[in-house]
Structure 1
Amino acid sequence: MFQTVEIPVWVIVIVALLAAVAALERILVPSVRWFFRRRMERVVARLNTRLERPIEPFKLARRHDTIQRLIYSPQVSEAINEYAASEGVPENVAFENAQRYAKEIVPSFSATAYFGFAIRLARVISRSIYRIRIGYFDEEALSKISPEATVVFVMNHRSNMDYVLVTYLAAKRAALSYAVGEWARVWPLQGLIRSMGAYFIRRKSYNALYRGVLARYVQMATEAGVAQAVFPEGRLSLTGGVGDAKLGILSYVISGYHPLRDRDVVFVPVALNYDRVLEDRVLREAAHGGRSKFKFSVWRSFGFMFRQLRFMLTGRFHRFGYAAVSFGEPLSLRAFSQSQTGNLPPLVAEELMTRVRAVVPAVPVPMVATIFEQAERPLTHDDVVERYVKMLDLLRSNGVHVHVPRDNPAYGAEVGLRMLKLRRFVLEQDDGFVISPKSAEFVTYYAESIAHFFEAPEVSP
């Protein structure tokens, strides 16, 4: 019993390390976690005094706790049982799958990362690349939204800059929670995006259990009043126009909604338009390949950024024109559901996309692109200005918000023409300007963003 026992040094080292880890876990880690939690609570308290819609406790809950609430909810338990029965697998296997899906979906919001880093970065990037303009904005209608309502911004999807731009513009209103596609599940974006409160979704998943877990998470966030931003089109627009809504996230928000029992959900239509979409060439390549989406490439993105940085250092960088954002008429789900009969999700989706299309801002490049699309002959500079002025009057008479740089139509036409010439979408010949045969699809792509304003028989540019 009292004999000396020889133990290898490496065993002693391992035991010491395990003891140290146990001490940290039991004694130090809780204290450190408590310290940072208190700091976070003080930061959030200060932020909530500035925000129009304070950060909800649901966003601040520990990620582990939210995952537990999600997988043990009655709706997910039912989905687990149905999945186990339909697939012929044990319930514990189905439960593990549901747990894996929950860990994949649930974000880990950090107020410090969102307001201390993300907002500032979004402001710098937005202002560095574009001249930002606010189009239609009904301050009175937005201010009438009840503080108790859940606000969901519903947007058309032109570019991945949409996330950055709307995050920056909504910074004083709320901390938005985005549904982000699988393209962002790459290092180093994944951790940063999670900390900003975004949740990852699989755009195409025919797994009923996955859809059940995702639906319940969206419903939990909506019930808790978390401000959200969704792209009903489900992908970046390959044509340049505003597409039809896919029910997906919208159906999860609406399903099971009871106007008398649940808090109101107010959808705010948001429409974005650009003089230059960063991914336009990639999107057109995807359209030619018959793909519904394009594959995100970290190296291609870094190559683009380094190329622009080189232009900045050599004095050849030009901002990519104007980016305009309009906020449409809010839609109360409570009021709308009480006035409609039939299947609610498709009715809401159709109405929202109609409101989004109605407030798409017209900026110089799409307008000048439309002029060239409709031209039967080469156009001189004066021809472009003349047609721009006529289009401006037509659009304004139909209630369309048009951003005119410096409030000077001639200058607006010049801005649009210069951008098209710079990218060689339009070529100058002896008898005037014509569309480059190699770039005709890009002229159509930009014109398509406002094409719906000319679809009525009596309206033609």
Structure 2
Amino acid sequence: MLAGVLALIGLLDRLLVPSVRWVLRRRLNRAIDQLNARLMLKIPPFKLARRKVLIDSLLFDPDVLKGIDDEAVRLGEPHDVVQARAKRYAREIVPAFSAYTYFGFAMKLAKAVSTFLYRVRLGAINEEALRSIPKDASVVFVINHRSNMDYVLVSHMVSTSSALSYAVGEWARVWLLQNFIRAMGGYFVRRDSSSNPLYRKVLARYVQMATAAGVAQAVFPEGGLSRDGALQAPKLGLLNYIVSGFDLKGARDIVFVPVGLNYDRVLEDRILLSAAERAGAPAGSGRKKSSRFAFRPAVFVR
């Protein structure tokens, strides 16, 4: 009796389950095709690939393999130990994008939250320049960082044109939230990794692979929230990864789109002001030391 049940389960696993997966995959591909037909920046196959495939591709990238060899020699550790550490870094970084989660749930939530908290107004925008962006270009939105609402707001504003991929700090690596962020296409970045060349190599190669594949990205050059609203000195790590991996002879261009965000009031205002006071910098004093780089305002929030 037990043998018969096990045989039936095995038969279903061999015949029925693959058929169901094929039907679901076919429907998903059809939905993606319909979605890409209306998006200005199409979702590339790289973004839709299974997470395990992306992790394996990253681990067996020649530059990452060389980084593993160099790390093993530098630290005097077995190659397998260093490779396992690189795999842990890759699993930490690589997202698991879900088009259904992004467009079916997250963008509706982003719209509801944005319009509930603020009166959103789109300011200056060069529509002609945006329409002239090549369809196969890698687009990078470069954004000033005023609030944690920036992620939600910008995603909502471009939801009819693209699915953005963000770099997210370690603060968001908590249960459920990290799974949701990965499903949104976000990837996690350690803030203090200057003394970890292997981690930086894995991160750099993921960013470069995504850029080469045409994934639309959003980057906050300041690397953190502005405490007083002034632009902070840029941290060019991610931008450096993007441009250093650019192939001048390749078929795909990289287009940087500046986006300026401004708020009448941010949700974190009291927290940011308190942090500035604890650091010994009165509110507004940062404006005298702000960076010389600037954005042309493109989005206003009230």
- TM-score w.r.t. structure 2 length? 0.88
Determine the C-alpha separation between the residues in 2 that align with 1:289 and 1:19.
Answer: 68
1:175 to 137, 149, 163: 163
SS at match of 1:238: coil
User: Is residue 149 of structure 1 aligned with residue 152 of structure 2?
Assistant: no
Q: Which residue of 2 aligns with 1:392?
A: none
How far residue 54 of structure 1 moved from its aligned partner, in angstroms, is 1.1
Q: Report the CA distance shift for 1:154/1:19 in structure 2 as closer, same or farther (over 3 A).
A: farther
Q: Which residue of 1 aligns with 2:127?
A: 139
Q: Which residue of 2 aligns with 1:270?
A: 259
User: Is residue 359 of structure 1 aligned with residue 291 of structure 2?
Assistant: no
User: Is residue 282 of structure 1 aligned with residue 271 of structure 2?
Assistant: yes
2:83 to 86, 95, 105: 95
Determine the C-alpha separation between the residues in 2 that align with 1:239 and 1:54.
Answer: 36
Deviations 1:10-60 (A, max 9, x none): xx99x9999898777655543443332222111101101110111101011
Q: Unaligned stretches of 5+ in structure 2? A: 281-290
Q: Which residue of 1 aligns with 2:96?
A: 108
Q: Which residue of 2 aligns with 1:54?
A: 42
Q: Which residue of 1 aligns with 2:62?
A: 74
2:120·2:300 contact (CA, 8 Å) conserved in 1?
no
User: Is residue 218 of structure 1 aligned with residue 157 of structure 2?
Assistant: no
Kindly report which structure 2 residues correspond to 1:374-453, keeping only aligned pairs within 5 A, or say none: none
Determine the C-alpha separation between the residues in 2 that align with 1:66 and 1:87.
Answer: 27
2:122·2:298 contact (CA, 8 Å) conserved in 1?
no
Q: Larger Cα Rg: Structure 1 or Structure 2?
A: 1
Give the letter aligned to residue 171 of structure 1: S
1 or 2 for the larger relative contact order (CA 8 Å, sep ≥6)? 2
Q: Unaligned stretches of 5+ in structure 1? A: 1-11, 292-349, 365-461
2:221·2:235 contact (CA, 8 Å) conserved in 1?
yes
Q: Which residue of 2 aligns with 1:8?
A: none
Determine the C-alpha separation between the residues in 2 that align with 1:20 and 1:219.
Answer: 47
SS at match of 2:199: helix
Deviations 1:228-281 (A, max 9, x none): 001111111123211121011101101142323352101001110111110112
How far residue 220 of structure 1 moved from its aligned partner, in angstroms, is 0.4
Q: Report the CA distance shift for 1:78/1:132 in structure 2 as closer, same or farther (over 3 A).
A: same
Give the letter aligned to residue 183 of structure 1: W
Equivalent pairs counted in the alignment come to 291
Give the root-mean-square deviation of aligned CA atoms.
2.6
Q: Report the CA distance shift for 1:20/1:208 in structure 2 as closer, same or farther (over 3 A).
A: farther
Give the % identical residues.
55
Q: Report the CA distance shift for 1:271/1:281 in structure 2 as closer, same or farther (over 3 A).
A: same
Determine the C-alpha separation between the residues in 1 that align with 2:299 and 2:15.
Answer: 57
SS at match of 2:179: helix
Q: Report the CA distance shift for 1:190/1:22 in structure 2 as closer, same or farther (over 3 A).
A: farther
Deviations 1:316-342 (A, max 9, x none): xxxxxxxxxxxxxxxxxxxxxxxxxxx
SS at match of 2:260: strand
Q: Report the CA distance shift for 1:263/1:23 in structure 2 as closer, same or farther (over 3 A).
A: same
Determine the C-alpha separation between the residues in 1 that align with 2:4 and 2:272.
Answer: 56
Q: Report the CA distance shift for 1:72/1:132 in structure 2 as closer, same or farther (over 3 A).
A: same
Give the letter aligned to residue 210 of structure 1: Y
User: Is residue 117 of structure 1 aligned with residue 82 of structure 2?
Assistant: no
1:215·1:249 contact (CA, 8 Å) conserved in 2?
yes
SS at match of 1:186: coil
Q: Which residue of 1 aligns with 2:235?
A: 246
Q: Report the CA distance shift for 1:65/1:275 in structure 2 as closer, same or farther (over 3 A).
A: same
Q: Which residue of 1 aligns with 2:197?
A: 208
Determine the C-alpha separation between the residues in 1 that align with 2:141 and 2:97.
Answer: 19
Determine the C-alpha separation between the residues in 2 that align with 1:283 and 1:135.
Answer: 26
Determine the C-alpha separation between the residues in 1 that align with 2:6 and 2:88.
Answer: 28
- TM-score w.r.t. structure 1 length? 0.59
Q: Report the CA distance shift for 1:361/1:121 in structure 2 as closer, same or farther (over 3 A).
A: closer
Determine the C-alpha separation between the residues in 2 that align with 1:361 and 1:176.
Answer: 16
Give the letter aligned to residue 123 of structure 2: G
